[in-house]
Structure 1
Amino acid sequence: MKKLIITLFLGLAVVAVAAPRKRHLFIFAGENNMESVRPERTVIPALKKDKEVRKGELLWVREARREMSMHDVDEGWKDSEGKTKKKFGPDYKVKQTKNYKRLLKNARQAAKKRPCDTIVLFWMQGESDAKNGWGDEYAASFKRFVTNLEKDLALGKINVVITRISDFGTENKKYPDWQNVRDAQKQLVKDNKGWILIDTDDKNGKLNKLQFDKKGIARIGELYAEIAIEFVTGKQVAK
C-alpha cells in the first residue's frame, strides 16, 4: 500500500520546466547615414521598455561602411552591360562582396549561430548606386542579397525594413540614378509582402542634405524600435 501511494505521488508530480527565451536578432546595415545610427543608444533601450520584448534575448549587429554599394554585398551583381566588376573612382578599393562576408560573419556571431524567433534587417543604403548609374540593377541585386543572406545565415526568416534614400539627389546631376533607386526601393516593398519602407524626405533638414540631421537620425531610431516591436509582438505600435 505504501509503495502504491509513492507511485501515485510520483505519477501526479509536475516538473516545472522553464520555457526557452525567445531570441530576436536585429541587423542594421548600410552606408553613409547608417554610420550615424547607434542602436545601443536608441533602438535597444526603447525595445527593453516593452514588457513582452524584454522577456526575450535581444541580439543585434551593425555593418555600416561609407560608399558601400550593392556591388559590395551581392555576389551575383552585374551592371546593365553584364559586367561583374566595375569601380567608381580611384579611391574605391573595397573588394566585391567583402562587406557581405563581414556582415554574415558578424551576424552569425551575434546570434551565436543559433536559430532566432525574429530576424529584422534594417537597410539604409543606395546613394552609391545612385551616384554610379546602377539604379536599373538595384531591385534585383537587393532581392538576391536578402535571399542569399537568409540562406547563408540559416537562422530563420529575415524581415526587411528599407530606409529609403532621401530627396537629396533628385535634381543633382552628380547622382544620375537617384530617382531610379528611390523607385526601386519603393517597388521592392510593394512586391514583397511584409517588407516595410521608411520615408526619409523629412529627415535630412530644410536644405535636403545627403546626411540626415540629428533630429532625423533620432526619429529613424524611434521608428526602428517601433517596427521591431511590431515584428516581435505582432501588435501595432502607435506612431
Structure 2
Amino acid sequence: MRNLRFILTLLIAVLGSSAAAQEGKHLFILSGQSNMQRMVTTVSFTPALQEAFGRENIVVVKDALGGQPIRRWYKGWKQPDGKQVTKIGDLYDQLMERVLAQGDPKNYSSVTFIWMQGENDARRGLGDYYKNAFLGLLDQLKTDLGRDDIFVVIGRISDHDLGNEKFKHWTMIREIQVELAEEIPNARWVNTDDLNDGVNQDGESIHDDLHYSVEGYKTFGERLAGAAIEQIKTTPESI
C-alpha cells in the first residue's frame, strides 16, 4: 500500500511539474504554403520572440507546404463544382500532430496561430469560399486545442498580381484577409507588398515576384513576430 501511495504521489508530482513547466510559456503555430515554408523561423521570427519573452518561454511549431489550397487544412471543405477531391484536411492533421507533441495547449499562457496562404486559392478562382473556409479552420483549431482565446496573425498575400491576370481572385483574397483580421477577435494582418523585390535565395534579381527576397523573408519574420508580441503584451488576460 505504501508503495502504491508513493507511486501515485510521484505521478501527481510529475504531472504537476509538467503543467507548471508550461506556465508562462507561449505557443506559436505557423502554417501555410510556400512563403511560409521558405521563411526560416530562426533567422528573425524566433529571435524576436526570445527577446520579448525569454528563450525558455516560447515554443514554435511550423508546418507548411508550397502550392496548397486551404482545403488541405479545412476539414469541412465542400468542392464548389461538386467534384470529388482528395486530400482534405490532411495538412491540418500533420500540423496538429506536431503541435500536440509539444504538450497540452491549454497549459500555455497564450497560443498564436500565424497563417500565410491564399495564393493557390486565388489562382483557382476560389475567393468566394475563402473566408468561410478560414473561419471554419479557426473554429476547428479552437476545438482541437481546447481554447477560445487564440491569437491570429495573417500574412496578406503580396502585390504580385494586382491586375488579376494570372490569379483571377488575387485582389479578392487580399481583401478577405484584411476583413478576417478586422472581424476576428485578437487578429491582425501584416503587409508583404514590399517583400518581393530584391535578390532571392538563388541570387536572382526579382520584382513583384510571387516569392520574397532574402531580406524580404527576414523582414516577414520580424513583422509576424512583432504583431504576435504586441497582441500578447496588450492583452492582460494572456500574461
Shorter-chain TM range is 0.7 to 0.9
Q: What is residue 230 of structure 2 aligned with on the other side?
A: 230
Question: How many residues get paired?
Answer: 208
Structure 1 range deviating more: 223-232 or 182-191: 223-232
- Structure 1 length-normalised TM: 0.79
Q: What is residue 190 of structure 2 aligned with on the other side?
A: 198
Q: What is residue 133 of structure 1 aligned with on the other side?
A: 125
The structure with the largest helix share of the pair is 2
Contact 1:77-1:84 at 8 Å conserved across structures: no
Contact 2:33-2:66 at 8 Å conserved across structures: yes
User: Which sections of structure 1, spanning at least 5 residues, go unmatched?
Assistant: 1-17, 88-94
Closer, same or farther: CA 187–114 of 1 in aligned 2, 3 Å: closer
Q: How does 1:209-220 map to 2 (within 5 A)?
A: 209-220=209-220
* Aligned counterparts of 1:78 and 1:178: Cα–Cα separation in 2: 21
Q: What is residue 207 of structure 2 aligned with on the other side?
A: 207
Closer, same or farther: CA 100–233 of 1 in aligned 2, 3 Å: same
Query: What is the alpha-carbon root mean square deviation over aligned residues?
Result: 2.3
Displacement, 1:118? 0.8
Contact 2:31-2:62 at 8 Å conserved across structures: yes
Displacement, 1:174? 2.6
Contact 2:33-2:117 at 8 Å conserved across structures: yes
Displacement, 1:137? 0.2
Q: Does residue 97 in structure 1 map to residue 89 in structure 2? A: yes
Q: How does 1:10-159 map to 2 (within 5 A)?
A: 21-50=23-52, 53-54=53-54, 57-81=57-81, 83=82, 85-86=84-85, 95-112=87-104, 115-154=107-146, 157-159=149-151
* Aligned counterparts of 1:19 and 1:124: Cα–Cα separation in 2: 30
Closer, same or farther: CA 189–156 of 1 in aligned 2, 3 Å: closer
Q: Residues 70-116 of structure 1: CA distance to partner in whole angstroms, max 9, x if unpaired?
A: 111111112444x37447xxxxxxx2111010111111112455521
* Aligned counterparts of 2:79 and 2:193: Cα–Cα separation in 1: 28
Structure index of larger Rg: 1
